[in-house]
Amino acid sequence: MKEFVVYTGLRVVLFLASLGVVAGAWVLIAGDVPILWALVIAFVVSGIGSYFLLDRQREAFARRVDERARRASSKFEELRSKEDAD
């Protein structure tokens, strides 16, 4: 659970930082910020950035999910084999 919170929090921070940079640059260049376009561009930039910058956190989250899935699967198989034996 911790890995999910850390990864999601960092994604949100990266998105907000990207939005700030995009909106700031747009204000400096054009003076008026179309918020929809700023959101779309910030979303794309943060998505690309998170692929490279948050690789370690994403891998830790994926390992945790895989570990939990394996435990659940082995527990299910254990219960199933017990049921078959009865």
Per-domain boundaries in the chain: 2-85
Q: How far is Cα 78 from Cα 73, in angstroms, rounded to an integer?
A: 9
The larger pLDDT score, comparing residue 57 to residue 43, is at 43
Q: What pLDDT, on a 0 to 100 scale, did the predictor assign at position 85? A: 67
31 φψ region: left (φ > 0), alpha (ψ -120 to 50), beta (else): left
Q: Are 15 and 51 in contact (CB under 8 A)?
A: no
The pLDDT of residue 61 is above 70:
yes
The pLDDT of residue 86 is above 70:
no
Looking at every residue in the chain, the average pLDDT score rounds to: 89
pLDDT tens readout for residues 6-39: 888 999 999 999 999 999 999 999 888 899 999 9
Q: What pLDDT, on a 0 to 100 scale, did the predictor assign at position 18? A: 96
pTM for this predicted structure: 0.73
Q: Which residues contact 30 (CB under 8 A, 6 or more apart)?
A: none
